[in-house]
Amino acid sequence: MLTVDIKKKLSDFTLNISFTAPNKTIVLFGPSGCGKTTILRCIAGLLKPDEGSIVSNDTVFYSSTKTIHLPPKKRNVSYMFQDFALFPHMNVKHNIWYGVKTPSQEANELYEKLITLLKIEHLPHRSISQLSGGEKQRVAMARALMAEPQILLLDEPLSALDAQSRYELQDELKRLQEIWNIPFVLVTHSPEEAQAIGSEVLFLHQGQQVSEPPPSWNMNANGKPTRSSFQYFY
């Protein structure tokens, strides 16, 4: 369980967000510049909020009242960046193992499980330059989960992919979340991705969360806004 309740002054507005992320996929949706990535960076410890708290299970990542601000390396959070941030001088296997401090039988079993689940068993010795966009995404996901995080943060993970790869990897993300059973917090400005992947969608506009959909929004049978409802933000 991840609980976020923070404020941070940005150049054009003050980010003010409060939400709880159970072991599901929470989507932060909104136009570019509305504060989505800032939230991820605060959770990861790459940015410090001005006030509030961030708590994962029983671990306090940040608390302004208790003057706690854990460094990123102590948060057990994996962050999957928009450009995947893979190391070009390493092959696929070395990228996935990067950050594993102590190789073990358990770690090797996890590695084998990941490359099988993500269908990249044939890629271990390939260089990053030889991979397609979808393959890079799968390698980045394997590396993120290889760290056995408590939380996985995903910043526009599908934005660089073609339509077919995006469609396939939406299902992959949902399946991986169900298997790992940890909070996935995903940023997107794509209505289709938000609807397809999110167990819950948080709508952001200029740093503020829209807690109640306006009456004009059209809701589907699952209680999620339809594509036409997302036009409110644009």
Torsion of CA 54, 174, 179, 119, to 10 degrees: -120
Answer yes or no: is 64 within a domain.
no
- Give me the domain span that covers residue 112: 91-147
Question: Tell me: the pLDDT tens digits for 34-75?
Answer: 899 999 999 999 999 999 999 999 999 999 999 999 999 999
Q: Taking the model in full, what pTM does it have?
A: 0.85
Answer yes or no: is 171 within a domain.
no
Answer yes or no: is 136 within a domain.
yes
Distance of CA 120 to the CA centre of its chain: 21
Answer yes or no: is 122 within a domain.
yes
Beta bridge partners of 124: none
Answer yes or no: is 129 within a domain.
yes
Q: How many domains does the chain have?
A: 1
Question: Tell me: the pLDDT tens digits for 123-137?
Answer: 999 999 999 888 998
Answer yes or no: is 116 within a domain.
yes
Answer yes or no: is 138 within a domain.
yes
Answer yes or no: is 98 within a domain.
yes
